[in-house]
A and B are shown apart, each in its own frame.
Chain A
Amino acid sequence: MTTSEHSLLSIDPPVHRGRLAKSSGVLILLAIVATFPLWAGSDYYVTVGTLVLTYAGLSQTLNMVYGYLGYMSISQVTFWGIGAYAAVKVTLDWHVNPWVGILVGSLITAIIAVPFGLLSMRRSRNAFAIVSIVTMLFAALIANDWQSFTGGATGIINLPEPNIHLGSISITVVDERQFYYATLVIALAVLAIVYLLVSSRWGRLLKSIKADESLSASYGTNNTFHKVLNLSIAAFLAASLGAITVFRVTVVDPSMINFYYVAPILGMVLVGGGGSFWGVTSAAAALTIIPEILRMTDQYQALFYGAVLMIVALALPEGVAPTLMKRRQASLARRSLHERRRLEPSLSVATSPLGDANASASVAAGGSPAELDIDWSLVSGDLQEDLT
C-alpha cells in the first residue's frame, strides 16, 4: 500500500517520519520496563516501578471514561476495589488459581458496571459524577460493615500467591520482582487494550459523544450503549489492576475503596491531558516517581503535589500533552503555509487528502514528491490529534 492510499483509506495515521520515531520510542520504553527489575538495585525501586505500572493502567481507565467520553468517574476506584474483592472471593470460595480469580472478578465488576452506567449515564454529566461518588461511599460501607462477606475493617488476609502452573511449567509469584512482572503483564494488557480502543474508529465516536450528545444522536449514534460499554470495559480493566495489587500486598481491606486513590489518578489525567493516551501515560510515570523522591522531604510532599496540580490547572488547563500537540500543530501549519506560498502552483493539489489522491497520480507522472510530503505532516497531525 502506498503512502497516499494509506492516508486516504485508513483511519490510522499515515506512515510518516514521526511514526518511526514513535514506534522506536515505544520499543525502547518496553525494553526499559521489561528489564527494570534486573538493574533497579533495591526492592524499593522495584516496588516503585510496580506502582508506576499500576497507576499508568488505572489512570488510563479513567482517561477512557473522562478524557475520551467526558464523564468524570470517581467510580474507577470503586471498580478497582470491587475487582479486588471479587477476585479474592472467587479465588478463595471456588478454590481456583488467583489468575482465574482475577479474570472472573474483573468480569463480575464489568457486569456490575452495566446497571450502574445505565442508571447514571443517561442524565447529565454532573449527575453521573455525584452518583459515582455516592456509589463509592456505598461500596466502602459494604466493605467495612458486611463482616461475614468482606471481612469487615480488617479485610481478608493471607491471600494465596498467584503462582502459575501450566503442565510442567511452574512460575512462582512471591517476591517483589515477580510481582513486578505479574503487574507488568496486566498493566501492558490494559494499556494495549485502551490504546487499541481509543485510537480506533470507536474512539472517534466516543469523542463525538463527549463533544455533543445531541449531535451524535442525530448522526444515529446510540449514545447510552456506547457510554455504558466504555464504562464497563474501563471497569473490567481497573478491576484487574486492583486484583493483582491485593494479591501483591496479600490483603484486601476497605482501604482499597478510598479517595486516597482518586487524587493521584485524577491528577495524572488532568496533568497529562484527558483524551491524550501518551500524555496520561507519561504523567502517570512522573506523578508516581516524583512524590517517591519527595518522600524524603516528608512534609513538602503534599505541598508539591498540590502545587503541580494548581500550576497545570491555571497555566495548561487542557493538560500538558494537548497543549504541546497544539503548539506543534500550529508550527507545522505555519511551516506548511510558508512552503505552500513558495510552491504556489502546486497549491491546488496539496490542500486536502482527497486532493492528494489525485496528486499521487501526478507524482507518479513526474511531479515532485516534496510538495506532498509537507502536506502529509499536516494531515497526519490532524488525524493523530483526533485519534490519540
Chain B
Amino acid sequence: MSDTLLEVQGLVKRFGGVRALDGVTFDVPRGIVQGLVGPNGSGKTTTIDCITGFQSADGGHVRFEGRRIDRHAAYQRARLGIRRTFQTLKVFEEMTVLDELLLAGQSFDEARLIDEWLRTPRLRRVERAARERAVASLALVRLEDFAGHHVHELSYGQRKLVALAGALMSEPKMLCLDEPLAGVSPRQVDEIVAVVKNLRAKGITVLIVEHNVDFVATVSDEVIVMAEGQVHTHGTPSVLRDDESVFEVLLGGR
C-alpha cells in the first residue's frame, strides 16, 4: 500500500524474562490520527520507544516510508521526520521558550558547525527563518505570548505544549505523543484536542498513546487496543464503545 507511512511488524521487546512486546504488528496510513490505548503495562510506551529509537527492539522490524529504520539511532529517526514527546515531561527548564524551540529545530536547518562557530551571514539567515518557524509553532499551540518566558515559569500543561511545539519545529511527518494529557488540567484537554486536530489538518500523521479513552475516541481516525504486549483490536474509534472485549481489556479484565 503506497500511502502507508509506518509499518510495524512482529515487534518483540524483552525486559529480563518479561515480554513487554510480543509480536506487535500494525500499519499507520499517512495523514491520520492513530490512537493507541491499553491498560498499564500493555506495551504502549515501549511500542513508541521502539518506533522512535529510544529502545531497540529484540525482534521484528519498523519501516518508515518503506525503508527499514529499526537499526537507526533515535536522532537519525528524528531527522527522517519522526518526532516525539515523552510521557514524563521533558523540556529544558532553564531556557526561554523561544530558545527551547530554536534548539528543537537546530539540528534540522542548513547551518553548519562552522557557521555556528563563526556566526556567518548564513547563520543569521537560518536563525531568522528559525525564529519565524518558532513563532508559527507557538501559534499552533497557542503560546505565542510566552516566547520570552523561561520554560519553568509556565504551568505543567503549558510546558507540555512547549514540548509539542518543539517537536513541530522540524516539520515532522509523524509525531508520537506519549500521554499528552498526563498531568494536564481538565480545562486544557479541549485545547489539546484542538491542537491535535490542527496537526491533522496540516497533514502530520499523529500517533497518540493515552489513557483517556474519551479523548482518543474524539481525536483518532483509527484506534489500536493493546493488551499484554500484543495488538488486541485494530479498528475505528467505535470499537472503544461497542466492542465488549475491548471494554474488558481496558478495565483490566481478561
Contact = CB atoms under 8 A, between A and B. Distances in A.
Contacts of B32: none
Interface in B30-79: 52-54, 73-75, 78-79
A9 B127 CA distance: 6
A212 interface: yes
Contacts of A201: 102, 106, 111, 116, 123, 127
Contacts of B199: none
Interface string B7-32: 00000000000000000000000000
Contacts of B96: 379, 382-383, 386
B92 interface: yes
Interface in A208-225: 208, 211-212, 214-215, 217-223
- Majority SS at the chain A contact face: helix
A352 B147 contact: yes
A202 interface: yes
Contacts of A118: none
Interface in A197-238: 197, 200-202, 204-205, 207-208, 211-212, 214-215, 217-223, 229
B123 A354 contact: no
A240 B170 CA distance: 39
A385 B52 CA distance: 32
A249 interface: no
Contacts of A351: 145, 148-149
Given A200-B116, A217-B54, A353 B111 contact: no
B142 to A, nearest CB: 14
Interface in B113-156: 113, 116-119, 123-124, 127-128, 131, 135, 144-150
Chain B interface size range: 35 or more
B84 interface: yes
B90 interface: yes
Contacts of A200: 116-117, 119
B144 A354 contact: yes
Contacts, number: 122
A196 interface: yes
A163 B135 CA distance: 56
A386 B54 contact: no
A12 interface: yes
B103 A204 contact: yes
A220 B113 contact: no
A317 interface: no
Contacts of A353: 98, 147-148
Given A201-B106, A214-B74, A382-B150, A354 B135 contact: yes
B184 interface: no
- Majority SS at the chain B contact face: helix
A219 B104 contact: yes
Nearest to B93: A211
A387 to B, nearest CB: 9
Nearest to A205: B106
Nearest to A212: B90
Contacts of B107: 219-222
B166 interface: yes
A11 interface: yes
Contact of B99 (A204, A219, A222): A204
Contacts of A356: 148
A32 B247 CA distance: 77
B95 interface: yes
Nearest to B97: A352
A208 B101 CA distance: 12
Nearest to B96: A382
Given A9-B131, A201-B116, A382-B150, A211 B145 contact: no
A8 interface: yes
Given A196-B117, A202-B117, A205-B103, A220 B92 contact: no
A386 B99 contact: yes
- Max chain B Cβ within 10 angstroms of own Cβ: one of A214, A220, A375, A379: A220
Given A202-B117, A221-B75, A353-B147, A211 B124 contact: no
B127 A219 contact: no
Interface string A3-15: 0000011111000
Given A218-B86, A220-B75, A354 B98 contact: yes
Interface of A: 8-12, 196-197, 200-202, 204-205, 207-208, 211-212, 214-215, 217-223, 229, 351-356, 375, 378-379, 382-383, 385-386
6 contacts: A8-B131, A196-B118, A201-B111, A215-B90, A218-B83, A218-B167
Given A217-B78, A382-B150, 15 more contacts: A9-B128, A202-B113, A204-B103, A215-B90, A218-B74, A218-B83, A222-B75, A351-B148, A351-B149, A352-B146, A352-B147, A353-B98, A353-B148, A379-B148, A386-B95
